[in-house]
Amino acid sequence: MIRASGAGLAALLLATRLVTAQDTQDRLLAAANTAYRSLRAAEAVGLYRQYLALYPDRADVRVFLGGALLNLGQLDAAFDEANRAIALDDRYAKGYILAGRVCAAREQWDRAQGFFETAQRLDKRDPDAWYFSGRAFYDANRFEPAIAAFEQALRAGAEQSRIYENLGLAQDALGQFGAAEKSFRKAVDLAGAAWRPYLTYGAFLFRQNRPAESLRMLREALALAPAAVDVRFELARVLYHENSLAEAAQVLDPARPSNECRVHNLLARIYSASGKGGLAEAEVKALENCKAAPDGP
Amino acid sequence: MKTAILGAIAMLAVAAMLAPSAAPPTAYFEDRTAHSGISFVLNNAASPERHQIETMAGGVAVFDYDNDGYPDIYFANGAEQPSLEKTGPQYRNRLYRNKHDWTFEDVTDKAGVGGAGYNIGVAAGDYDNDGHVDLFVTGVKGNTLFHNRGDGTFEDVSRQAGLESHDWAVAAAWVDYDNDGLLDLFVVNYVKWDPATELFCGDAERGIRTYCHPRYYQPLPNRLYHNNGDGTFTDVSAVSGIGAHPGKGMGIAIADYDHDGWMDVFVANDTVPNFLFHNQHNGTFREVALQAGVGYNDDGKALSSMGVDFRDLDNDGWEDLAITALSDQTFPVFRNLGHGLFSDVTYQSRAGIISMPLSGWSMGIFDFDNDGWKDVFVAAGDVQDNTEMLSSGKSRQQDLLMLNDGHGSFRSALAGPAAQNRGAAFGDFDRDGRVDAVVTRLNEPPVLLRNIMGDGNHWLALRLVGAKSNRDAIGARVVVRAGGMTQVNHVTTSTGYACSSEPAVHFGLGRSSRADSIEIEWPSGLRQTLTNVAADSFLTVRERPAP
């Protein structure tokens, strides 16, 4: 009885330890996923690697790790993870999607689409296979197939803001301004707390010479993402052209630490137009050692 | 085939499908190439290696070489590769004499201007003030100055003039930067290029080769040559400050943008910031593009700037800039705010959405419909000849006409046949008061476009003859008041990309049949005023002798 009780206690302790260990691993994965979603890619990579040291056969986690590596620009390592995921489960569509994304980042457009097509065959209902295919077509300046891919992603049942946003960008690139605006509106409707759809729509409205509507969207974006340089730049640009120079400077000045050329360039214009020659000259000086702006969304 | 393409049919410019306010289809230009007698074909000596020079050819000049009052046409041409020599007639530059009836006679041999080497651009100007317009031809491995003897022939005087160079020059401008009455020469250089080290660019997976991005080539500084007045020039690039700024220059335009009486120079650079050289009145220039707000566009990006013109688009008296660039970049429009600053109004003017799908090369700002508001014509065509294999873009594009609505906006129309258009130069070939165009196209004959716009609108064109000023009066500023409107323009031959246009100063007067006044500010500082001038005529105005 005692022995039995002892064995039971041991089993209980073992079970408790196992549960605790499992709990720890779950927490590790959750933390990694949170870091990934929060765009803390380096932290996510570290956490995913810790997790995979314990569970090396998780194809899904290898894809997450590859995604984080891709965000860090470590394309070879990301591609390795995609291949490992595919080796673990060659029916797992996400592995091929990751491989396609890496190829797209390398501007290997045909190869990328080959991976996306495999993913689409394996899981017709995975909108990501179509979404990332559309992104790759867009980046390759092939806007018609990009639109087709985004529309397929929507047909796959994904009412995602980012798909509408990218659909709008492709339509905009082809001069289909009416359709683009509808897509941008839908992206904003579905945006939730995401700021980028407001920014994209606001920038579109500026290009259409509709500054008042543009300002409304961009102010929404700023409220959601006060730290985003993209948002501050676009809002300040519209304010500058609307001759609201003081507010334009106020909006853009916090983006100065980014040292992006476009920020210094616009600040120089704002200060020049405001008659603040000294400040303008300082911004022109800063243009000599600035960083190029990142490409669009 | 070409005849079919260039048939003398009234060409309906397709109203652009790009914008909600695009005009309904209207006739803008009539293609007069087919029976013009122009048989020139721009030969870029295309190679499988896709050498960078091939996509850059196409300069053309519109100028009156024989002083018969009608503008003639000179085409720059390529050369064999790899020798870069004009080894056969297919590579010769061509001079066509205007026979006043939309036909032209090839006078290349007689004139002796077939050229040498792989040529890109042309600049016309009477550098020796002898009343006969001379030609400067740029090239990949050397430039040529053709002196017009006045008897229908030219002489290559490059060496004795001191203008020999081995830099790859694209464009040039004649400009009297020191107001001494002699035209000086500003030469726009592109990049260091060596066919032996040309990289493979394109899609290696599919073996699709493309012309390389300019980032793979080192920049070159431009050159400024001071006219000594004795047929020779002195390279003043270093002392003037011009040579201190390496760039990747393609287009050049001149204007006194701050109205201080001294000509300034804008250079359109490919993928690096543009240059605005502000004349310091002492033989030197200060590069102020970033301060003035024209180095980058509003996005803080250095575009693939190619062609440029520098004239007052909004009739506020200040010279604005319109520039061409690649598709997806827009063709920037910079409004001159009048105190040394410019504002990027590309999107406000609708130039942004109009130009987004097109790659623009040469261009010009002229009042094509004579309504009193200057418009913009752009020769369009992609850099690549295999664009469709790589993107949604098109290699062959129609030219773009951006018509100024007088309220700060353009409406768009497409004109001319789709092609890899490159050069465009402007002049009134039939003296009907409408500015016509000639457009060059890679590996095809050029297109001669007769302007048929602006029925019922009046116009004035002035040919200015300098006395104390340079004889071509390049740099002279003209203010015309008519029908309650005031317009400003100036004399220049430097328009667009690698091209040279007629120096006559043209004004559309709309419904006004008279100009109340015409004020001329000569480069010498002299001012002349004409009053109550009847419209619809070409006026020759000579600079008054100095008192």
ipTM of the complex: 0.85
Q: What is the pLDDT of residue A17?
A: 61
- Backbone CA torsion sign across B129, B135, B140, B142: negative
Query: Do A158 and A129 contact (CB within 8 A), yes or no?
Result: no
Bridge-based pairing state of the strands B264-269 and B249-255: antiparallel
Contact between chains at A241 and B343 (C-beta distance less than 8 A) = yes
Query: Do B271 and B303 contact (CB within 8 A), yes or no?
Result: yes
Contact between chains at A209 and B299 (C-beta distance less than 8 A) = no
Distance from CA of B392 to the nearest CA of A (A): 4
| pLDDT: which is higher, B91 or A124 | B91
Q: What is the mean pLDDT of each run of 10 residues along chain A (297 residues)?
A: 57 61 84 90 95 94 96 96 97 97 93 97 93 96 95 90 97 95 98 96 97 98 97 98 97 96 96 95 92 57
Q: What is the pLDDT of residue A294?
A: 55
The answer on pLDDT for B24 being more than 80 is no
Q: How far apart are CA A29 and CA B367, in angstroms?
A: 67
| pLDDT: which is higher, B509 or A25 | B509
The answer on pLDDT for B122 being more than 90 is yes
Q: What is the pLDDT of residue B205?
A: 77
Find where tokens 């000259």 sit: A281
Tokens representing B327 are 């598709």
Instruction: Name the pTM for this structure.
Output: 0.89
Contact between chains at A272 and B291 (C-beta distance less than 8 A) = yes
Q: B449 - beta bridge partners?
A: B31, B437
The answer on pLDDT for B441 being more than 60 is yes
Q: What is the pLDDT of residue B547?
A: 52
Q: Which of B295, B344, B357 sits opposite A175 (nearest CB)?
A: B357
pLDDT digits (tens, 9 = 90+) for B188-216: 999 999 888 888 988 887 888 889 889 89
| pLDDT: which is higher, B17 or B529 | B529
Return the percentage of chain B with pLDDT > 70, whole number.
95
Q: Provide CB contacts within 8 A for B305, sequence distance 6+.
A: B250, B251, B268, B269, B270, B274, B323, B324, B325, B332
Confidence label for B434 from pLDDT (cuts 50, 70 and 90): very high
Q: What is the pLDDT of residue B492?
A: 98
Q: Which of B206, B301, B345 sits opposite A110 (nearest CB)?
A: B206
Query: Diameter of chain B by CA atoms?
Result: 73
Find where tokens 């109340």 sit: B516
Q: What is the pLDDT of residue B16?
A: 33
Q: What is the pLDDT of residue B242?
A: 98
Confidence label for B90 from pLDDT (cuts 50, 70 and 90): very high
- DSSP string of B316-333? SSS-EEEE---TTT---E
Q: How far apart are CA A237 and CA B103, in angstroms?
A: 51
How high does pLDDT run on average in chain B?
Answer: 92
| C-alpha separations of A207 from B292, B348, B400 in Å | 22, 7, 19
Contact between chains at A177 and B20 (C-beta distance less than 8 A) = yes
Bridge-based pairing state of the strands B436-441 and B444-451: antiparallel
With an 8 Å Cβ cutoff, the interface of chain A facing chain B consists of 108-111, 140-144, 173-175, 177, 206-209, 237, 241, 260-266, 268-269, 272-273, 280-281, 284, 287, 290, 292-293
Around Cβ A79, how many Cβ atoms within 10 Å? 20
| pLDDT: which is higher, A292 or B174 | B174
Q: B279 - beta bridge partners?
A: B285
Residue type, B537: S
Determine the number of helices (DSSP H) and then strands (DSSP E) in chain A.
16, 0
Q: What is the pLDDT of residue A11?
A: 62
The answer on pLDDT for B301 being more than 80 is yes
Which residue on chain B is closest to A282 by alpha carbon? B291
Preferred mutation among B18, B208, B346, B347 to probe A, highest tally of A CBs within 10 A: B347
**Residues of chain A positioned with their CB less than 8 A from the CB of B205:** 108, 110-111
